[in-house]
Amino acid sequence: MSMTVPGVSPAFQSFLSQAPGHARAWMTMVGGLEEASRLDKKTDELAYLAVLAALGRESGIAFHVAAAREAGASREEVISAVLLGLPAVGQLVIGALPIAIEAYDAG
């Protein structure tokens, strides 16, 4: 039986539960990258939100908005992070905006 993690997409939850060895390897790599980063947690999460929005990867937005909020990010900072890529990638980032706002307000 798998546990549902709020803000985590069904696909990623399936990855965690159905491929635990791969998931452990992935999470070890992610942990190593977090450890190597010299950004504080709030800045790191806001930057990650900007990247997700720029790539159109909406499935991770809610999870990372919650992490940014927990790290002290304001609603306005989350919105700014999502829209950061607007000049470079255009309207693609706008698709992440309602997801981010809903996730922030739900927290």
The CA distance from 95 to 36, in Å, is 31
> Does the CA dihedral 28-32-37-40 come out positive or negative?
positive
Span 1-18, average pLDDT: 79
| Gyration radius of the chain over CA positions | 14
pLDDT value, residue 7:
75
The pLDDT of residue 1 is 38
**Which 3 state secondary structure label does DSSP give 9?**
coil
At residue 8 the predicted structure's pLDDT band, cuts being 50, 70 and 90, is confident
pTM score, two decimals? Answer: 0.88
pLDDT in tens, 55-106: 999 989 999 999 999 999 999 999 999 999 999 999 999 999 999 999 999 9
